[in-house]
Structure 1
Amino acid sequence: MTATDPALTALAQGWCALSLLHGRIEAHIERALQAGHDLSVREYSLLDVLGRQHDGEGGHLQMKQVADAVVLSQSATTRLVTRLEDRGLLSRYLCPTDRRGIYTDVTDAGRTLLEQARPTNEKALREALDQAAANPELAPLVRALEAHGLPA
């Protein structure tokens, strides 16, 4: 393929559209979560991922798994965990079976905030997708997302 190959050009245009859609959605959700709950998208995502942990085998995530889930580096994830821990929304404790391991869990205050913020996140996502669907360049991507399980 060359730089002027139509397939490559179409792929690049598709990537630009996907990047634009992601940016618009994230910015819209960020504004809603900040205004309503003093949370960033990353903070909400971290609380959501950690809130889904459970006791039992495979129930707790290692920091690398958490970092992958929230799409941050391990060091950025650690800083984010520290910020939320300082706010009383997360706590850390030693793994009972491996004293080298440290788990992070959502506190009661964190669970409460997560439950309060979840409808805001979902409403903002829906609004952002509805706005994007009005853009002919983004509408096919919105339809593809909706076809894969996002609520209409």
Structure 2
Amino acid sequence: MRGPEIDGRVLAQGWCALSLLHDRIDAHLEKALQSAHGLSVREYSALVVLSEQHDGDGGHLSMTRLADTVALSQSATTRLVTRLEERGLLVRYLCPTDRRGIYTNVTDAGRALFDRARETNDRALEEALAHAEKSPELRPLVEVVRAMQHAATAPRA
């Protein structure tokens, strides 16, 4: 049994609104992170993923998992990691149990930059959402983002 038919125009309008919200937020974050810290949104995203992965000793993330997590191709991820490595923010090393595997780890300098950039990112994200909230076609999407934020920060029973 099929569910209710979806009006293709409504679905397309929703997708366009979602793309517009993403593009506006991405552009605002890019400008803020570049001007304050010399980081692109992708570079910041990699630091987010790797910083969360590396609590405690022995944490690491394979290049393949990093590529999947930041939604880049393998070659684009390699270029991204190379840029961050050249700046002293990441290191690469071979997996001790599988010499074919390459892992990445955030350096102390990378963690320090990430900590500073997080405040910039959070502030810019809030600014972009507040601006998008003024648009009638984007307001429902912003409400969803805010509901997700509220659910993630609400105390657990």
Normalising by structure 2, we get a TM-score of: 0.87
Q: Which runs of 4+ in 1 moved over 4 A?
A: none
Question: Contact 2:18/2:141 (CA < 8 Å) preserved in 1?
Answer: yes
What do residues 33-57 of structure 1 show as CA deviations (whole Å, max 9, x unaligned)? 0111010100100111111123679
Determine the structure 2 residue equivalent to 1:75: 75
Structure 2 alignment gaps of length 5 or more: none
Shift of 1:61: 2.2
Aligned to 2:25: 25
Q: How many residues align?
A: 146
Percent identity of equivalent pairs? 65
Q: How does 1:2-151 map to 2 (within 5 A)?
A: 7-54=7-54, 59-149=59-149
Q: Distance in 2 between matches of 1:85 and 1:63?
A: 13
Contact 2:91 2:104 in 1 (8 A): yes
What's the secondary structure of 2:7's corresponding residue? helix
Shift of 1:6: 7.2
Alignment RMSD: 1.8
1:96 CA drift (Å) = 1.7
**TM-score scaled to structure 1, two decimals?**
0.89
Distance 1:86 1:63 in 2: 16
Q: Structure 1: any 5+ residue segments left out of the alignment? A: none
- AA in 2 matched with 1:104: T
